[in-house]
Amino acid sequence: MRPIASHDVIVIGGGASGMMAAGRAAELGARVLLLEKNAELGVKLSMTGGGRCNITNAEEDERLFAAKYGASGEFLHSAFAQFGVRDTFSFCEARGLPLIVEAHKRAFPATERASDVAQMFVRYLAKGRVEVRTGVAVERLVMAAGRVEGVETSDGAFSARAYILATGGVSHPETGSTGDGYAWLRAAGHTVEKPTPTLVPLTVREGWAKKLSGVSLEAMKITFCVDGVKKFSRSGPLLFTHFGISGPTILNSAGKVKGLLIEGIVTALVDLFPGVDQGALDKRVTELFDANKNKLIKNVLKDVVPPGLGETLLALAKVDPETKVHSVTRDERKRLVDTAKRLPLTVTGLMSLDRAIVADGGLPLDEVDTRTMRSRRVQNLFVTGDLLHISRPSGGYSLQLCWTTGYVAGTNAVSTS
């Protein structure tokens, strides 16, 4: 089939990196066509950061920032120099969406709405007169003599001088990221590393943890053990979910936990009060009890732990919730304190790839010129975002990679002949 339309640049995939790439190419004067199979642009982007969009990480030290991408960081210096963290801040501010910085330097739009970020990009595309075709699935890249000649889609064929592949990875496939780009890259002679979940929630056995679904702990310390032997600890927030535990601290622990699960039974002990040792906590609880002698224990706990957690603590410590505080025995108090310092969980596994926040896998960086994001096999093909095989932690590093690679690909696709 002969392609019927002609543009300077065709971007396949209207997610975070594709929208940046299309907007940037258009800003430089290119006639850009953006093809997206969903009915809307930025579906995954709109659910990032629990709906708040952790848009980047405000780490100012460029070396420290690049180091977060492990060995890949070395390949990315030039790309980050073209569009780095500061550029993300100015880009958003210039478009009426200032950012705020929270714990661990995680940056969010001040409106705390991920959909506002997606809308900012929709306006960016409109300003550049990008032709956006939603509901159009690309089915195949038409290749000839080491170049892409056109794309076949559910709505006909299109052609351009340069193509930007921004179809994402395979996590949360309901958002449209179904790994289509992997097959096209393979067909074009590229290697595609098998994806494995890297940032993924953990499943646990305990029913009480699942019942706490939606409850979050702002600051806790979790210690992972194999067959009762301590292996490593992490501190930060934790979110209980209907299948187990999640939140940045857990997601960032998943890679290591995966290894532990091969060694033996993995348990995790959650310290609800990491800032105080057991003795100091016991003293605080004693003071709390002294001040609330005639209240029911369950009501007193409500004020010091998140909703629902008091009942759980009492059940695990085997203390009747209807007991008046003055009747709580010394042993019962000690058991409560002990449980609060060592809430026990049995980790049964990692959630599957489809629930991962980020999966690695995709195009290895030595097969792409990271100064331009151009494929080293196909002259007029550029690759961005989650399609690249790069491990990184949670905290805004994935989206920054999208802004950077999208910007660099958009810039360089324009000058492709």
Ligand X SMILES: Cc1cc2nc3c(=O)[nH]c(=O)nc-3n(C[C@H](O)[C@H](O)[C@H](O)COP(=O)(O)OP(=O)(O)OC[C@H]3O[C@@H](n4cnc5c(N)ncnc54)[C@H](O)[C@@H]3O)c2cc1C
**Beta carbons of 287 and 258 less than 8 angstroms apart:** no
Max alpha carbon distance in the chain (Å)?
A: 84
Minimal distance, residue 256 CB to ligand X, in Å: 20
d(C-alpha 117, C-alpha 140), whole Å: 30
Say whether residue 172 binds ligand X (CB under 6 A): yes
**Beta carbons of 45 and 16 less than 8 angstroms apart:** yes
**Beta carbons of 314 and 298 less than 8 angstroms apart:** yes
Q: Map residues 296-335 to x or -, x wherever contact with ligand X holds by CB under 6 A.
A: ----------------------------------------
Say whether residue 389 binds ligand X (CB under 6 A): no
Give the Å distances, CA to CA, from 117 to 19, 38, 309.
11, 18, 34
Say whether residue 59 binds ligand X (CB under 6 A): no
Total interface residues for ligand X by CB under 6 A: 39
Closer residue to ligand X, CB minimum distance, 57 or 339: 57
Short-list 34, 10, 16, CA closest to 91: 16
* 240-279 residues near ligand X, rule: CB under 6 A: none
Q: Map residues 354-383 to x or -, x wherever contact with ligand X holds by CB under 6 A.
A: ---xx-------------------------
Q: Map residues 183-222 to x or -, x wherever contact with ligand X holds by CB under 6 A.
A: ----------------------------------------
Binding range to ligand X, per CB under 6 A, among 122-130, 163-171, 258-266, 271-279: 163-171
Q: Exposure of 89 by Cβ count < 10 A (0-12 exposed, 13-18 middle, 19+ buried)? A: middle
Binding ligand X (rule: CB under 6 A), the pick from 177, 246, 372, 404 is 177
Tokens 């093809």 belong to 35
d(C-alpha 89, C-alpha 233), whole Å: 33
Binding ligand X (rule: CB under 6 A), the pick from 399, 409, 413, 414 is 399
Joined tokens for residue 255: 């890679």
Joined tokens for residue 237: 């927030």
Say whether residue 18 binds ligand X (CB under 6 A): yes
Joined tokens for residue 190: 């590229």
- The contacts found for 76-81 with CB under 8 angstroms, 24 or more apart, are 76/365, 76/370, 76/390, 76/401, 76/404, 78/370, 78/371, 79/370, 79/371, 79/373, 79/404, 79/405, 79/408, 80/404
Binding range to ligand X, per CB under 6 A, among 2-10, 252-260, 306-314, 392-400: 392-400
Minimal distance, residue 165 CB to ligand X, in Å: 9
**Beta carbons of 309 and 212 less than 8 angstroms apart:** yes
Short-list 178, 144, 176, CA closest to 159: 144
- The secondary structure of 19-55 as a DSSP string is HHHHHHHHHTT--EEEEESSSSS-TTGGGGGGGT---
Minimal distance, residue 41 CB to ligand X, in Å: 7
Binding ligand X (rule: CB under 6 A), the pick from 7, 24, 44, 333 is 44
* 81-140 residues near ligand X, rule: CB under 6 A: 137-138
Say whether residue 385 binds ligand X (CB under 6 A): yes
Closer residue to ligand X, CB minimum distance, 273 or 397: 397
Minimal distance, residue 240 CB to ligand X, in Å: 17
Closer residue to ligand X, CB minimum distance, 171 or 241: 171
Contact residues toward ligand X (CB under 6 A) are: 12-18, 35-38, 43-45, 47-49, 53-54, 137-138, 166-168, 171-172, 176-178, 180, 357-358, 385-386, 396-399, 402
